[in-house]
Amino acid sequence: MPRQEIELSRRQDESYDVLLRRAEGVARSAVQRVFDQDIVVTEVAITIVGKNGGTSVPILRLQVTRQLWQREPDPQRWATYFPMSRMLLGL
């Protein structure tokens, strides 16, 4: 199963909720790209790491099978969120 870790830096004055929505979009694109590039892949895991200043912590992990993704390509449905990330990033 392909696994990717993608770093996403917080933009100036960006709230945690906006960073999280952006992370979901990045994860959605990454999952789709993996499935589009390799028809043999049946499952993928993407971890989005949020960065704020010098701190980096995982904010979500999206792991999904091709079959489930084709049925419902919604990152919120398949993502695991890390609730402590907001505090750890100082947001």
What pLDDT digit, counting tens, does each position of 10-59 carry? Answer: 999 999 999 999 999 999 999 999 999 999 999 999 999 999 999 999 99
**Phi, psi for residue 59 in degrees, rounded to 5:** -110, -25
Give CA–CA dist 7/24, Å, rounded. 12
DSSP for 32-88 reads HHHHHH-TT--EEEEEEEEEETTEEEEEEEEEEEHHHHHH---HHHHEEE-TTHHHH
pLDDT at position 39 is: 93
What pLDDT digit, counting tens, does each position of 69-88 carry? Answer: 999 999 999 999 999 999 99
**Phi, psi for residue 46 in degrees, rounded to 5:** -120, 130
pLDDT at position 32 is: 97
Q: What is the pTM of this model?
A: 0.94
